[in-house]
Amino acid sequence: MIPKSHPRYESLLLRDKMVKAAQEGYLADSALIAHGRGEAFDYLIGEKTTYPAKRAMYVAVAALLLSNNPVISVNGNATALAIDEIIELANAIDAKIEINLFYRTDERVKLITQLYKNHGYKNILGTLDDDIEYINDIPNNRATASKSGIYSADTILIPLEDGDRAEILKKGGKNIITIDLNPLSRTSKMSDVSIMDNIVRAIPFMTKIAEDLKTQDKKVLIDMVNDFDNEENLKESLEQIRIKE
């Protein structure tokens, strides 16, 4: 048991979740390393949601609400850290959830499918019996997508995504939104909206934003999306990283 008074309490709880997920067998071998990279950036922003991240989240939710076929792409890490919160967000914005694994194996897909079902979400896409297509006909595991999900989606939320996969989605003409603690990653630079925040803070915050934005005029949402400059916001995000005491 980690004592609540421990200065890294929240962070250690997340580590526990990741270790448990690794033991359950649905994480890729490199998943803990990717988590560690995220932790380091989170440390440097004080493990708090910054102003540029909040701004990006408002724009992201507006874009998702304006979409015809929004999809949340999930991998092992996102599932381990925020499965219930992801389901809540999907319900709030009427988005589909699709399993997308960089290192896709039948076993991991099966385990993650079952997890979403156990948590009350029945219509998960990207499963073993789903209709899988290749984006832009690229004959590569990284280009796979569910026909009724990412393949035909207009906007995709890709938390903790790998740069190669993000590039394929971008080239496939998708509007992409990422949640990535590293503002320098290829995924952050390539995305239309990059949220530099921990997924465990960002997703529930986006659900709250959705409740607010759903009551707004469509025109307000369109203006929010059009007025946003991701490059500028990423610069501001980078300025939030403090390496002095």
Which residues here bind ligand ATP, judged by CB under 6 A?
34-35, 37-38, 41, 81, 160, 162-163, 179-182, 185-187, 198-199
Q: Which is nearer to ligand ATP, 79 or 187 (CB)?
A: 187
Write down the least CB distance from residue 211 to ligand ATP, Å.
22
SS3 (DSSP) at 148:
coil
Write down the least CB distance from residue 88 to ligand ATP, Å.
17
Q: Which is nearer to ligand ATP, 49 or 69 (CB)?
A: 49
**Half-sphere exposure at residue 184, Cβ-oriented, CA atoms within 13 angstroms:** 7
Write down the least CB distance from residue 168 to ligand ATP, Å.
12
Write down the least CB distance from residue 64 to ligand ATP, Å.
18
Q: Which is nearer to ligand ATP, 130 or 178 (CB)?
A: 178
Tokens of 154: 């207009």
Write down the least CB distance from residue 194 to ligand ATP, Å.
10
**In sequence order, what are the beta bridge partners of 73?**
98
Q: Which is nearer to ligand ATP, 27 or 63 (CB)?
A: 27
Q: Which residue is nearest to ligand ATP (CB)?
A: 38
Residues 6+ apart with CB under 8 A from 175: 63, 67, 154, 155, 156, 192
CA distance 153 to 146: 10
Write down the least CB distance from residue 193 to ligand ATP, Å.
14
Contact of 81 with 14, CB cutoff 8 Å = yes
CA distance 93 to 98: 15
- How many helices (H) and strands (E) the chain has is answered by 10, 7
Q: Which is nearer to ligand ATP, 102 or 134 (CB)?
A: 102
Q: Which is nearer to ligand ATP, 42 or 98 (CB)?
A: 42
Angle between helix axes 76-93 and 51-66 (nearest 10 degrees) is 60
CA distance 27 to 60: 27
Tokens of 2: 């980690």
